């Protein structure tokens, strides 16, 4: 069964807020962010080994950086049903 563009758009609009909620409440999100912060610290502080691995131990700095971040996901549209706000 092939869905029309209009149907796909309506389904996407209907589920977007639930997807945002799922991502925001998933422990995988924190794990991913921690990994990305460590990667950024390694890149920005220039501590890469020849094999591409990081020689910098971010175990203290990464959590401190994470505590100073707020990441938010927001829909690019306003839901048409005020009850879903």
Q: To the nearest whole percent, how much of the chain has pLDDT over 90?
A: 54
Q: What is the pLDDT of residue 58?
A: 84
Q: Which two tokens stand for residue 60?
A: 């203290």
Could you list the residue range(s) of the whole structural domain that residue 49 is in?
Answer: 29-67
How many structural domains compose the chain? 1
How far is Cα 20 from Cα 16, in angstroms, rounded to an integer?
A: 6
60 belongs to a structural domain:
yes
Query: What is the CA 12 to chain-centroid distance, rounded?
Result: 18
Residue 82 has pLDDT above 70, yes or no: no
76 belongs to a structural domain:
no
55 belongs to a structural domain:
yes
For the stretch 9-52, pLDDT in tens is 999 999 999 999 999 999 999 999 999 999 899 888 877 788 88
> What predicted TM-score, i.e. pTM, was given to this entire model?
0.70
18 belongs to a structural domain:
no
4 belongs to a structural domain:
no
85 belongs to a structural domain:
no
For the stretch 49-69, pLDDT in tens is 888 888 878 889 999 999 999
How far is Cα 30 from Cα 23, in angstroms, rounded to an integer?
A: 10
DSSP secondary structure letters along 58-73 = -TTHHHHHHTT-----
Average pLDDT of the chain, as a whole number: 87
79 belongs to a structural domain:
no
Residue matched to tokens 């309506």? 10
């Amino acid at each position: 069964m092939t869905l029309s563009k209009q149907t796909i758009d309506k389904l996407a609009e209907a589920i977007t807020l639930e997807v945002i909620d799922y991502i925001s409440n998933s422990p995988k999100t924190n794990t991913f962010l921690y990994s990305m912060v460590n990667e950024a610290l390694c890149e920005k502080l220039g501590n890469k080994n020849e094999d591409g691995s990081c020689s910098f131990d971010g175990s203290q700095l990464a959590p401190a950086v994470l505590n100073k971040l707020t990441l938010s996901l927001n829909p690019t549209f306003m839901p048409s049903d005020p009850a879903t706000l």
